[in-house]
Structure 1
């Protein structure tokens, strides 16, 4: 099938590559010539395991192309995926300007029946807005009501985890399709069924529903996952106060099959491109309809406060004035296997340490370039702080001259370091672990002063022995 992908960001690029991988003829379009140049020269503007190899195969086979030519992209695809960004507006609602601009172009250049697929995460009612925009453009061309230039707007939300997106797309646990039940909708349903047939060989994974429900499903799914994270983070702070171990609690409640273990890990807050903005957008949708989502308002509040928890532990241990102190920071991306720095906890933590006069030596396996870019923007009005922020090329280099280690992202290479070397490299054998990678008892036995999230702190005396 001939497919057009509007937007070569995270969702669009993965969607385009995977659909090309199974044999479709895919045209990816973007208004950013820099991205298109990178892709046409064999590069990938984002870090996602397996994506570069898949793009290399599909490009060599001639099944995927990249361009800034909007008209050519519309004329190419019988199915038009809109996969552009929907950043939060000032009030937290989703900014639909890029979605509606894509719809406007489809109406402006449509050369036949089009299935227009909202792949971007959009609030309930967006499909209707897209439909109205396309209708307006067709009317301006004198094509309104034309069977030849008919269209149907479909909601097909993505459920991709950054760091595992390619595998999630190729082996989906569900495919949600919201579609109208009119004649154009029936034709669109047949095309979508054919498109996704390769993913339903063993058993049917597609869930058909009305458009509003499909749009709502994406927000509801992310809101539930964010709620589980904030729930555990809130409990972890109480565990610190009462002397409980949040890891033991997690195992205790996760063993209940009604609860399960997924997204029950305490840490220093969630980030990324989805959870923060989707929670905000759903809360704002409720407000616009005269309703309050009190649980989600609390989820957002807890997450915002959680990004300060690790800093508070550092201040209690080392004082409010951190001038003359150097901290090694392991991990900058909001999660492993990505270079995504959007809403990353590291940004708040690094800024807070610098604001107190500390020097920071930061390392991340893949996000260094992106981290340097976003932190330069964050600290643009604080030139003295920027001078004390150093990006280094290895976890060992980060430890050089450091008083203590701060762990923010749970990359695999951080899970089993050489603790003897780590201890000798640090001026003070102190670890502040925002992801609970290590066991407190084991750390104390090695003479490391270890502070985790919601886990017991074992006090050491001046000789590094349990006091």
Structure 2
């Protein structure tokens, strides 16, 4: 089976590499010369655990190739997967499908023999039908089928998620397309991975529904954490008490600075947009989007309250700028909101992230980029943890405090134990838990934060 993947971005590159690891002959197409040069040189343009050795071994075996020649790659392919970007249209909530449809037109001109054209990108309901229409118009004599095969990979564990998924969802409208996709995923079916065959429309909705439901859990636990702070309960106990109910489960019940990245923000907005278009407003999703935006706006306010009510002339050290650990992705990250707001309020910012600082340098001005957490904290009035990197879980808080002007910690990820915080001598603020204020703490007023004050 010959496979062509259009797009060597996050989804396309991981998919191409993993399909080639199944033993298929895979060609990955991209028009970015810089990205292709990196891949040809054996370098990976994204940070993703386990991806580099899979790409290297399959390139060496001749099963995985990269090119900018789409027509040559599509000719003779049995399955063509479209994995191009579907960003939110500027000034709107709708997904921009121009790259998907442009790819469809090019595929139509180049396909040779029966071809299954699959949307791997996250696309709203109705995209497969529209793509079928575009390809039929461009190639009336074409022998093809269109299918939907949404991805469910998490950044930071994408290879693991592809090779050992909870399920594979394929949306089809013909037996020919179903047979081709069953063959494509036979290596996973042989390992008893469930393969759910649906209509294209159902597959398209499933992807958005799954991401939006997870985003809803995050927004829910964040607002629940605010309630816990107000009444003196510990959100860690409350979340565990909820999550041990098998109907609920423990995943996505950790409070934090709000969801970000390439999926949840755009997918929630796109689903809300589709619902409005259909005359069925999805009010829960609209409120989730609003709550998440409010969460990010409150971050600077929380830090300001922790240092006594003003940020003018203060230095704030931020630990982590990626939207989550194990990735260098800062798209819709909390840092994109909090850093400019801290600076606007008169603070200087020092920052450290294990892998995302190169992306940070391209996105922020007047930030001091540091070699580690301890150097970022030197002279700081507060240290704030934004990303749940494991390296921050074992911080020597006493060492951190010795270099600071004010020993104040704002832990937006609840990475540190309350016991460690008490023994550190630091003023420690976390999410959904009462602050820890040592008896000999700095005399500056500790102002309690109240959600919704921004």
Greater Cα offset, 353-362 or 160-169 = 353-362
Q: Secondary structure at the match of 2:254?
A: coil
Deviations 1:53-99 (A, max 9, x none): 11111111111111111111211421000001110112201110000
Map residues 254-403 of structure 1 onto 2, 5 A cutoff. Answer: 254-319=243-308, 321-375=310-364, 386-387=365-366, 389-403=367-381
Residue equivalent to 1:382: none
CA contact (8 A) 1:74 1:105 kept: no
State the shift of 1:441 in Å: 4.2
Greater Cα offset, 199-208 or 217-226 = 199-208
Residue equivalent to 1:157: 150
1:408 alignment partner, one of 386, 390, 402: 386
Residue equivalent to 2:195: 206
Residue equivalent to 2:450: none
CA distance in 1, matches of 2:310, 2:397: 28
CA distance in 1, matches of 2:297, 2:414: 16
State the shift of 1:207 in Å: 0.4
Residue equivalent to 1:461: 439
CA distance in 1, matches of 2:35, 2:423: 50
Tell me how large the CA RMSD over aligned residues is.
1.5
CA distance in 2, matches of 1:319, 1:414: 25
Q: Secondary structure at the match of 1:198?
A: helix
Map residues 48-447 of structure 1 onto 2, 5 A cutoff. Answer: 48-89=48-89, 90-139=91-140, 143=141, 149-180=142-173, 185-319=174-308, 321-375=310-364, 386-387=365-366, 389-447=367-425
TM-score relative to the length of structure 2: 0.95
CA distance in 2, matches of 1:308, 1:236: 16
Sort the Cα spacing of 1:411 and 1:38 in 2 relative to 1 into closer, same or farther, 3 A.
same
CA distance in 1, matches of 2:435, 2:380: 21
Deviations 1:314-360 (A, max 9, x none): 22232554232111111010000001111000111111111111111
Greater Cα offset, 305-314 or 291-300 = 305-314
For structure 2, the 5+ residue unaligned runs are 447-454
Sort the Cα spacing of 1:188 and 1:463 in 2 relative to 1 into closer, same or farther, 3 A.
closer
Q: Secondary structure at the match of 2:81?
A: strand
State the shift of 1:400 in Å: 2.2
Q: Secondary structure at the match of 1:190?
A: helix
Sort the Cα spacing of 1:203 and 1:461 in 2 relative to 1 into closer, same or farther, 3 A.
same
For structure 1, the 5+ residue unaligned runs are 144-148, 376-385
State the shift of 1:439 in Å: 2.4
CA distance in 2, matches of 1:353, 1:408: 14
State the shift of 1:193 in Å: 0.9
1:36 paired with 2:14, answer no
CA distance in 2, matches of 1:203, 1:3: 23
State the shift of 1:276 in Å: 0.3
TM-score relative to the length of structure 1: 0.92
Q: Secondary structure at the match of 2:262?
A: coil
